[in-house]
């Protein structure tokens, strides 16, 4: 298919030149003797004008959306009012459509791509392989690609090393209720809920580490921010304090945004999806859990039972979202009570009811990061297993970290789809991944 240009957004170097482009018909429109095509190639869009004899050919007259085609012509500047991407159009003097490149016309699925509003969410998801071709969906996934690279860059700058922990495990991290169990050669195993425990084991030989891997949770409720399979950005940092952990999370989120904004193509996509997004001011608002509870009471935001919040309550999704809607900037909620947090969290020295833990909440989404300092004392960890009803035998490799060179360390997990929902202003994390998995859906 050879030498041709890509229709990159923000790439306007070719005006006045003759080029060859390859792509799919995103939209087509007849106007008198002219055929206007918006061609899409996954890199961008270009307006194509077909006129003269070419517009009277059988292929031009019967052209259908999503047909692939090859076009040669000259790139010409057009006025801003013409609504052509990058104020340019390609005046075609040749095009070619091999027979099998033609898309079946009148296809319901293709119409759905542009009229998503009239369709049920489930129906659209059945057709996700086609609806992904829509402008918003593809923009979000393009930003997602940039975000993944931005994390790699930001971690590289901080000299934090990438590792790849296993997905098949025999330990739980975030509670038994959401474990996906499977038969592993006759033994019970699970799909990992978090790579945290494995990351902790890497500190002594890799220094600070991160991973971007899938985590799995058998979430039994349908919410707009829970997936059964999500992309988890996790890191573990050695010889740090709780304050170091908070500053690091804040730095990382801001640095990733900076990298995204510095790339004109990504910045243009974000601007279209979420025009209001700006760099959050630092430091992020820090609020102890107990103060958050007071704040919720003062603002008449009830707990899940409809009662006023009290110390020890979970701050559920609805309350969390009310909070971020009102405060409308990133919030670190810190020092959650032991009872509502995972077994591995370090206890606060000044108030043993609470842990050195943090959730980072973003407007419109709520929690996007959960992190903590880790119990680094052998006896304290054993007591925590006991309290949680976990058999320490299965965790011997994890416990050994406390026997052979323990250290004050901590880390966090960030849900990539939730970060994207915030950056791209998407209502649900389901629209922030390729093929979402949640209760009741495992296809396409």
Binding test (CB under 5 A) with Mg ion, winner from 165, 337, 366, 370: 370
Question: Would you call 257 exposed, middle or buried from its count of C-beta atoms within 10 A (0-12, 13-18, 19+)?
Answer: buried
Report if residue 86 touches ligand 4AD, rule: CB under 6 A.
Answer: no
Which 3 state secondary structure label does DSSP give 362? strand
DSSP 95-142: EE--GGGPPPTT-HHHHHHH-GGGS-HHHHHHTHHHHTTSHHHHHHHH
401 binds, among Mg ion, ligand 4AD, none (CB under 5 to 8 A by kind): none
Q: Which residues in 253-282 contact ligand 4AD (CB under 6 A)?
A: none
Q: Does 411 bind Mg ion (CB under 5 A)?
A: no
Task: Write down the least CB distance from residue 288 to ligand 4AD, Å.
Answer: 18
Shortest distance, position 264 Cβ to ligand 4AD, whole Å: 28
Q: Is the peptide bond before 224 cis (omega within 30 degrees of 0)?
A: no
Both structure tokens of 403? 């026997």
Find the part of the chain contacting ligand 4AD (CB under 6 A) among 60-68, 298-306, 376-384, 410-418: 410-418
CB neighbour burial string for 396-414, b if at least 16 within 10 angstroms, e if fewer: eebeebbeeebebbbbbbb
Q: Which of 313, 348, 367, 431 binds ligand 4AD (CB under 6 A)?
A: 367
Q: Which residues contact 420 (CB under 8 A, 6 or more apart)?
A: 140, 143, 144, 147, 426, 429, 432
The piece of 124-132, 255-263, 285-293, 368-376 that touches ligand 4AD (CB under 6 A) is 368-376
Which CB sits closer to ligand 4AD, 234 or 348? 234
Shortest separation between residue 216's beta carbon and Mg ion, angstroms: 15
Q: Which residues 53-72 are close enough to bind ligand 4AD by CB under 6 A?
A: none
Choice between 165 and 370, CB closer to Mg ion: 370
- Do 266 and 8 contact (CB within 8 A), yes or no? no
Other CB atoms within a 10 A radius of the CB of residue 225 amount to 22
The residue from 74, 93, 219, 238 that contacts ligand 4AD (CB under 6 A) is 219
Q: What residues line the site for ligand 4AD (CB under 6 A)?
A: 173-174, 194, 196, 217, 219, 226-227, 230, 232, 234, 367-371, 411-415, 417-418, 429
């Amino acid at each position: 298919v050879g030498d041709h240009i890509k229709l990159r957004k923000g790439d306007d170097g070719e005006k006045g030149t003759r080029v060859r482009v390859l792509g799919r018909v995103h939209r087509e429109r007849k106007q008198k003797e002219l055929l206007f095509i918006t061609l899409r190639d996954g890199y961008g869009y270009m307006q194509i004008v077909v006129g003269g004899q070419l517009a009277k050919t059988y292929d031009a007259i019967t052209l259908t959306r999503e047909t692939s085609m090859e076009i040669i012509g000259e790139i010409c500047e057009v006025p801003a009012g013409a609504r052509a991407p990058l104020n340019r159009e390609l005046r075609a003097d040749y095009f070619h459509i091999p027979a099998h490149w033609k898309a079946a016309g009148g296809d319901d699925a293709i119409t759905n791509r542009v009229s998503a509003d009239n369709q049920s969410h489930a129906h659209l998801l059945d057709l996700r392989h086609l609806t992904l071709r829509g402008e918003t969906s593809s923009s979000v996934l393009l930003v997602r690609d940039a975000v993944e690279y931005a994390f790699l860059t930001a971690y590289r700058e901080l000299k934090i090393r990438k590792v790849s922990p296993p997905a098949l495990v025999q330990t739980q991290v975030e509670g038994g209720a959401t474990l996906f169990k499977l038969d592993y050669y006759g033994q019970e195993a699970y799909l990992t809920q978090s790579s945290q425990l494995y990351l902790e084991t890497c500190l002594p030989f890799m220094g600070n580490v991160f991973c971007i891997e899938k985590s799995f949770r058998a979430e039994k409720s349908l919410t707009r921010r829970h997936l059964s399979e999500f992309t988890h950005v996790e890191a573990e940092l050695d010889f740090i304090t709780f304050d170091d952990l908070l500053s690091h999370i804040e730095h990382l989120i801001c640095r990733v945004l900076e990298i995204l904004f510095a790339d004109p193509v990504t910045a243009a996509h974000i601007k279209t999806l979420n025009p209001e997004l700006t760099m959050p001011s630092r430091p992020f608002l820090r609020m102890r859990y107990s103060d958050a509870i007071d704040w919720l009471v003062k603002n008449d935001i009830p707990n899940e039972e409809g009662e006023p919040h009290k110390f020890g309550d979970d701050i559920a999704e609805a309350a969390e979202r009310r909070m971020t809607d009102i405060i409308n900037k990133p919030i670190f909620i810190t020092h959650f009570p032991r009872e509502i947090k995972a077994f591995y969290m370090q206890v606060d020295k000044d108030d043993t009811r609470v842990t050195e833990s943090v959730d980072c909440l973003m407007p419109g989404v709520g929690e996007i990061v959960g992190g903590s300092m880790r119990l680094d004392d052998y006896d304290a960890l054993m007591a925590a297993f006991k309290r949680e009803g976990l058999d320490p035998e299965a965790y011997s490799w994890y416990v050994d970290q406390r026997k052979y060179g323990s250290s004050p360390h901590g880390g966090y997990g960030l849900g990539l789809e939730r970060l994207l929902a915030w950056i791209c202003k998407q209502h649900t994390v389901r629209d922030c991944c390729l093929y979402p998995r949640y209760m009741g859906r495992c296809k396409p």
